């Protein structure tokens, strides 16, 4: 593998690169009177103010959410404080209704593709941290990226990826551009032609506006940066001072710079287990609200909420006093669906299958499958996990086909649609459609077309039978609910049945 056991010598070169990354002039414009939108004292006051909510107050808030209106931090705090079992059931029911109203029964699937694990940071919870001498370091070559992409698009049938880079000069913007171009160029053989990756999302370190413009121009979909913890003290504890990631504000305004660079699909997230989960939920809501306020109502395209998992030689995991229980984790998902009703919610394979299945019923819209996070693991066809080469350990190792079958049993159709990004339904345009519950019309039809394509190209006979039953139900619903689109939709669907590929409305 390229760069295997690569020496981390050349510290001067790395230090020079680090010193050039953070730009104070790309932090200051987003401060209000010199302060960020996260105010620790204010958040705790908001949480306290929501104590002992009345049923009437809770139900008024649920009604607002069902109207696809963003909740205020104060309203979110009320939901955080709900303990009554009946009200919790009503919250879960409303969350499911919000998801159905905005996104219908679709679940979008993707795969993570790790391209490098060299890192200049020393995050105390991460296996990739620079101080972990036992980690097997590598960066994929362009040929290895091609092989990984062929496996993902040709063997499993994935259409979208989240590409993950370590923060290091060897995986900076030049490597990102080359690797994304390589992924988009791959054409992998399938039963009826070829498979390809149609949307490359990126999980990478914070960048300057100039570099983010280059990322946009290479065709990136959603740009993800997770704040990890919104609590400044915890952030400093987990990210040692003097490291690049130790700059809280540079990371906090990553999405603001991305929006100013023209990337209008951005994904935020927090790593639950670092600090009190209630504070982190409030941080996510404040983040979404600040983006909405500054960018004409455009909030985050997605929100992620991973929990801390076992990682190689990660000292933060030795004393996890803020570990999040399954019950609280499901409550987090419920509240986020209610507080930011238009956004996509991503639950990753960090979580075990039974928790992910429950989360689907609470409003999750995106899941990864066939997940392998060791570098080069897809083309090596290894199903095992190696803690010495992974950022963390996975809880759900179901294949894409297994997940599709399980989702079908729950009445959910797997969508491989990438149309919105490709025809400009992003940013302000998609936010308007989502809030008005019209985006789901297009996505519903495109889900059926792309699911039909996947069934014919990749499904086993058993899964195809289960998928056919689901498609029959969806076709009947589209015929009933969306008659005005039949003139466009039905010919595309019929063409897909005859072997045409990559059709969408």
Tens-digit pLDDT profile for residues 243-291: 999 999 999 999 999 999 999 899 999 999 999 999 999 999 999 999 9
Provide DSSP, 94-110: HHHHHHHHHHTTEEEEE
| Number of Cβ atoms within 10 Å of the Cβ of 349 | 24
| Number of Cβ atoms within 10 Å of the Cβ of 241 | 8
Q: What is the pLDDT of residue 249?
A: 98
Low pLDDT (below 70) residues in the chain: 1-10, 310-314, 381-391, 421, 424-440
Contacts of residue 387, defined as CB under 8 A and 6 or more positions apart, other chains included, come to: 127, 310, 311, 312, 393
187: its two tokens: 């054409």
Fold of 26-31+97-435: TIM Barrel (3.20.20)
The closest of 94, 85, 32 to 293, measured between CA atoms, is 32
Q: What is the pLDDT of residue 309?
A: 77
DSSP code, position 363: T
| Number of Cβ atoms within 10 Å of the Cβ of 220 | 23
- Residues carrying CATH 3.20.20.70, the chain: 26-31+97-435
Distance CA 377, CA 311 (A): 17
Distance CA 388, CA 346 (A): 26
133: its two tokens: 């001498």
Beta strands in 321-408 (DSSP E): 344-347, 366-368
Count of CA atoms in the C-beta half-sphere (13 A) of 36 = 22
Paired residues of 270 in beta bridges: 228
| Chain position carrying tokens 């931090």 | 73
Q: What is the pLDDT of residue 438?
A: 60
Radius of gyration in angstroms for the set of CA atoms belonging to the chain, rounded to a whole number: 22
Provide DSSP, 166-217: -SSGGGSHHHHHHHHHHHHH--EEETTEEE---EEEEE-----HHHHHHHHH
Question: Is the distance from CB of 312 to CB of 396 less than 8 angstroms?
Answer: no
DSSP code, position 29: G
Contacts of residue 340, defined as CB under 8 A and 6 or more positions apart, other chains included, come to: 70, 71, 284, 285, 288, 299, 300, 303
Q: What is the pLDDT of residue 131?
A: 81
Provide DSSP, 76-143: HHHHHT---HHHHHHHHHHHHHHHHHHHTTEEEEEEEEE-B---S---TT-TT-TT-TTS---B--HH
Question: Is the distance from CB of 79 to CB of 91 less than 8 angstroms?
Answer: yes
Q: What is the pLDDT of residue 386?
A: 64
Q: What is the pLDDT of residue 383?
A: 60
DSSP code, position 297: T
């Amino acid at each position: 593998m390229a760069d295997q056991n690569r020496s981390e010598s050349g510290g001067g070169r790395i230090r020079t690169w680090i010193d050039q990354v953070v730009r104070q002039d790309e932090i200051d414009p987003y401060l209000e009177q010199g302060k960020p939108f996260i105010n620790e004292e204010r958040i705790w006051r908001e949480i306290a103010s929501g104590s002992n909510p009345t049923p009437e107050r809770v139900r008024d808030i649920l009604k607002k959410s069902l109207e696809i209106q963003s909740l205020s931090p104060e309203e979110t705090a009320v939901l955080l404080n709900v303990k009554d079992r009946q009200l919790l059931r009503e919250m879960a029911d409303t969350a499911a209704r919000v998801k159905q109203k905005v996104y219908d029964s679709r679940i979008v699937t993707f795969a993570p593709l790790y391209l490098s694990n060299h890192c200049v940071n020393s995050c105390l919870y991460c296996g990739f941290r620079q101080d972990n001498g036992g980690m097997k370091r590598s960066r994929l070559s362009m040929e290895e990226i091609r092989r990984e992409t062929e496996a993902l698009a040709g063997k499993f049938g994935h259409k979208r990826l989240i590409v993950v880079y370590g923060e290091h000069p060897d995986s900076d913007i030049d490597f990102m551009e080359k690797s994304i171009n390589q992924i988009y160029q791959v054409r992998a053989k399938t039963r009826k032609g070829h498979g390809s990756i149609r949307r490359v999302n990126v999980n990478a370190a914070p960048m300057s506006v100039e570099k983010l413009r280059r990322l946009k121009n290479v065709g990136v979909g959603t740009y993800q940066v997770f704040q990890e913890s919104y609590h400044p003290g915890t952030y400093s504890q987990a990210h040692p001072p003097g490291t690049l990631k130790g700059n809280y504000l540079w990371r906090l305004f990553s999405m603001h710079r991305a929006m100013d660079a023209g990337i209008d699909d951005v994904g935020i997230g927090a790593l639950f287990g670092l600090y009190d989960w209630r504070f982190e939920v409030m941080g996510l809501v404040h983040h979404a609200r600040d983006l909405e306020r500054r960018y004409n109502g455009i909030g985050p395209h997605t929100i992620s909420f991973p929990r801390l998992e076992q990682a190689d030689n990660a000292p933060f995991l030795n004393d996890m006093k803020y570990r999040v229980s399954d019950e609280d984790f499901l409550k987090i998902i419920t509240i986020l669906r209610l507080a930011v009703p238009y956004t996509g919610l991503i639950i990753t394979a960090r979580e075990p299958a039974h928790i992910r299945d429950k989360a689907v019923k609470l409003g999750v819209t995106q899941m990864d499958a066939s997940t392998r996070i060791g570098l080069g693991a897809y083309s090596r066809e290894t199903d095992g996990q190696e803690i010495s080469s992974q950022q963390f350990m996975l809880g759900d190792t179901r294949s894409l086909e297994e997940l599709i079958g399980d989702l079908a049993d729950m009445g959910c159709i797997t969508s491989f649609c990438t149309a919105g990004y490709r025809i400009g339904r992003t940013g302000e345009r998609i936010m308007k459609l989502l809030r008005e519950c019209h985006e789901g019309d297009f996505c519903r039809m495109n889900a059926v077309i792309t699911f039909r394509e996947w069934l014919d190209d990749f499904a086993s006979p058993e899964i195809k039978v289960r998928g056919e039953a689901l498609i029959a139900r969806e076709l009947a619903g589209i015929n009933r609910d969306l008659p005005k689109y039949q003139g466009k939709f039905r010919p595309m669907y019929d063409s897909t049945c005859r072997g045409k590929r990559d059709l969408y409305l």
